[in-house]
Chain A
Amino acid sequence: MKRRPFLTFSDVAVYNLKRRPFRTACLVSLVAALAFVLFGGSLITYSLINGTEGLAKRLGADILIVPKGYDQMVEGILLRGEPSTFYMNADWIEKISALEGIRAVSPHLFVASLNAACCSVPIQLIGFDQETDFIVTPWLRTALPGELGDDEIVIGGSVSGRVGDKLMFFDRSYRIAAKMENTGTGFDASIFMNMNAARRAAGDYGAKGGPSLEGENGENASREGASTPPEESISSLVVLIDDGLTAAGMTRKINNTFGYGKSGIVVVPTKTIIGNVSGGLRALTAFTAVLVVILWILSLLVLTIVFSVTLNERKQEFGILRSLGITRKKLIALVFLESGTISLTGAAIGVFLSALLILPFRIYIQETISMPYMQPSLGKLLAIAAASLFLSFATGPLASLFSSSKMGSSDAYVVIREGGL
């Protein structure tokens, strides 16, 4: 085995850094802060973009129709999975279908569970019509062969249980027929069932003390739906319009036909929901980008100044090393090794801490931001980490470029004389 030399070139760089522990710690912290913000900002921004794209894919409708005053609740269900129960009359299916320019209409029924065995917080149950549905069914097919029975459910990615397990809602047992992938939207915390099962659950909900469908106008019950019997209730309509028509135009048409504000319904173009999310996302992305650029320039500037001052102070040392026979190239390499060690250590610490803080708190971040949030796959996560590590690491060698080139251009004699020897 080859014997390790007593003092290697990299040992010299490490000893030089150890000689000034406070300065080294400050520089490492600066690069760590840069890497932390770079990786954290990129990860959160990427997750939000991922979530918004997921939402756009899942919301395959052009228009949503909900009872008047409940448009915010639908947004809460879709974006954050906030459980709500509200109803409107099912005759809207026929009224809307009869309009010219409507390609497809499908109803949804939203029921908030009270307590479930899996979880002590209410959960959103969503009933959908399997014959007309074009939003849920297309992505259920990947997980569920065949039709859903009345005692079968499909659970979102964040809901407990495995396929074949049973879950209790309103004292009824439901078999989990399939589980969805995480989408970063409110659907992750929802449970899907066929329309019959959802209507039965809505009846159970009223019987168990939730706002009644038939009489009491509870907090969550629609003004119109409060007097609607469960067999004829729906919560929202998802609508597809003919090609060539715009959602805004169709919204105007529906409002004109049924009377804006008098009909008891609100027409929400889905682009408005996605647009609201995208607007917030654009502001956040711009803020993160500006913060990262400012921090990067600041780090580069501070490191350049510190390296320049340090190398100026060490002129004697470099002069002696040159007179001992160390080449100019080797000296420059020593400076790069020192700055590289500082920036690599800082970058690794920053990326590690950022990952440690952001990855486990996925759900908390999603709820705080109130936007669709889906963390990237492992491969993409590693790519973001590698890019952040490289950009942060590059700061050190880049910062020492100026001073090392200046040092490399002077003669040993001049360096020693200037150093005062």
Chain B
Amino acid sequence: MKNRMISGLGAVVMGSLIAFGPQFFFEICKPMANGRWMKCHWTGQAEIGVGLLIVALGVLLLLFSSEKVRLGLSLSLAFTGGLALAFPHALIGGCEMATMPCRKVAFPSLTVIGVLTVVGFAVNAFYLHRKRPMQVPMQVPMQIPMKARQS
């Protein structure tokens, strides 16, 4: 129950930050003087989708008690966190000048949240995998030496 609540709420918080952070808290760059959006804007739009997906997976994590289902959800959350990292760093990118607001605050914040999501849910998946009913060896009957048995 404790794991379910912590991991589920954690995913909802992380997903919300990924989705809405670039829009409200650590803002990406404003449009240029000619009204055109820069690349980072589209990264912010893509992160809304990924963030909401993480929120949805987090809600499912809260709803399901089966450890096998939660193991699968945790794995998918770890991979989705990787996708949240890939948008600013590989798939779309942002402004190339390091002093621009997107590169200064928004992308580093997404990096921190993305890495925490990947690592956190990979660890949770490992924990749930290890927690699954252990193969406790049956009590081994005492081995009585053959000679003693014969006598």
Indicate whether B56 reaches chain A with its CB closer than 8 angstroms: no
Query: Of B32, B33, B38, B108, which contacts A364 at CB under 8 A?
Result: B108
Q: How many residues of A contact B (CB 8 A)?
A: 22
Contact B99 A81 (CB under 8 A): yes
In the complex, residue of chain A having the shortest beta-carbon distance to the beta carbon of B29: A120
Q: Cβ of B33 and Cβ of A118 under 8 Å apart? A: no
B105–A364 CB distance below 8 A? yes
| Interface flag for B137 (CB, 8 Å) | yes
- Give residues 101-119 of B contacting A (CB, 8 Å): 103-105, 107-108, 111-112, 115-116
Contact between B104 and A367, CB atoms less than 8 A apart:
yes
Contact of A189 among B30, B97, B111 (CB under 8 A): B97
The segment out of A48-56, A155-163, A396-404 that lies at the interface is: A155-163
B63 within 8 A of A: no
User: Is the CB–CB distance between A160 and B115 below 8 Å?
Assistant: no
Q: Are B104 and A158 in contact (CB under 8 A)?
A: no
Answer whether residue B142 sits at the interface, using C-beta atoms and an 8 A cutoff: no
Taking a contact as CB atoms under 8 Å apart, the answer to whether B104 and A115 are in contact is no
- Closest CB-CB distance, B82 to chain A, in whole Å? 15
Query: In this complex, which of B98, B100, B105 has the most chain A Cβ atoms within 10 angstroms of its Cβ?
Result: B98
* Interface residue A99 (Cβ < 8 Å from any Cβ of B): no
| B13 in the interface (beta carbon within 8 A) | no
**What residue of chain B has the Cβ atom nearest to residue A81's Cβ?**
B99
B122 within 8 A of A: no
Q: How far is the CA of A118 from the CA of B30 in the complex (A)?
A: 14
Q: How far is the CA of A356 from the CA of B96 in the complex (A)?
A: 21
With beta carbons under 8 angstroms apart, the residue of A158, A188, A361 that contacts B108 is A361
Quick check: is A357 within 8 A (CB to CB) of the other chain?
yes
Q: For residue B104, which residues in chain A have a CB less than 8 angstroms away from its CB? A: 363-364, 367
Cβ-defined contact, A161 with B112, below 8 A: no
Q: List residues of chain A with CB within 8 A of the CB of B112.
A: 356-357, 360
Among B29, B96, B105, B108, the residue within 8 A (CB) of A160 is B96
**Min distance, Cβ B6 to any Cβ of chain A, angstroms:** 13
B95 within 8 A of A: yes
Q: Is the CB of B137 within 8 A of A363?
A: no
Instruction: Report B25-43 CB contacts with A as 1/0, cut-off 8 Å.
Output: 0000110110000100000
Q: Mark A309-323, 1 if CB is under 8 A from B, else 0.
A: 000000000000000
Q: Once bound together, how far apart are the Cα atoms of A120 and B100, in whole Å?
A: 8
Chain A residues whose C-beta falls within 8 Å of the C-beta of B95 in the assembled complex: 118-119, 160
Interface of B is mostly: loop
- Counting contact residues on chain B (CB < 8 A from A), the size range is 20 to 34
Of residues B97, B100, B116, which shows the largest number of chain A Cβ atoms within 10 Å of its Cβ? B97
Complex CA gap A6/B115 in Å reads 35
- Is A363's CB under 8 angstroms from B103's CB? yes
Asked if A286 lies at the interface with its beta carbon under 8 angstroms from chain B, I say no
Query: Which residue of the partner chain A has the closest CB to B100?
Result: A119
Contact residue among B29, B33, B98 (Cβ-Cβ distance under 8 Å from A363): B98
Distance of A186 from chain B, by nearest CB (Å): 10
Contact with B along A116-148 (1 / 0, CB 8 A): 001111010000000000000000000000000
Which residue in chain A gives the minimum CB-CB distance to B96? A160
Contact call A119/B137, Cβ cutoff below 8 A? no
Q: Using A115-B33, A120-B32, A120-B38 as known contacts, say yes or no to A360 and B107 having CB atoms under 8 A apart.
A: yes
Q: Which residues of A contact B98 (CB under 8 A)?
A: 157-158, 188-189, 363
Output the nearest chain A residue to B103 by Cβ-Cβ distance.
A363
Complex CA–CA separation, A326 to B116 (angstroms): 42
Q: Is the CB–CB distance between B97 and A159 below 8 Å?
A: yes
CA distance A115 to B34 in the complex (A): 10
Mark out the residues of chain A between 150 and 208 whose CB falls within 8 Å of any chain B CB in the assembled complex.
157-161, 188-189
Report A204 CB to chain B, min CB distance, Å. 16
CB-based contact A118/B116 at 8 Å: no
A6-B137, A120-B29, A120-B38 are known contacts. Are A160 and B116 too (CB-CB below 8 A)?
Answer: no
- Assembled-state Cα–Cα distance A115/B30 (Å): 13
- In the complex, are the beta carbons of A189 and B38 less than 8 A apart? no
For B32, the chain A residues whose CB sits under 8 A away are 115, 120
- Kindly list chain B residues whose C-beta atoms are within 8 Å of the C-beta of A357: 112
Beta-carbon nearest neighbor of B101 in chain A:
A121
**Chain A nearest CB: distance from B99 CB in Å?**
5
Contacting A at CB under 8 A, from B1-50, are 29-30, 32-33, 38
CB of B96 within 8 A of CB of A363, answer no
Which residues on the A side are within 8 Å of B107 (C-beta)?
A: 360
Can you list 14 A-B contacts with CB-CB less than 8 angstroms, sorted by A residue number? A6-B137, A115-B33, A118-B95, A118-B97, A121-B97, A121-B99, A123-B97, A157-B98, A189-B99, A356-B112, A356-B116, A360-B112, A363-B103, A364-B108
Known interface pairs A356-B112, A364-B105; 16 further A-B residue pairs with C-beta atoms within 8 A, sorted by A's residue number: A118-B95, A118-B96, A118-B97, A119-B96, A120-B29, A157-B98, A158-B98, A160-B96, A161-B96, A188-B98, A189-B98, A357-B112, A360-B107, A360-B108, A363-B104, A367-B99
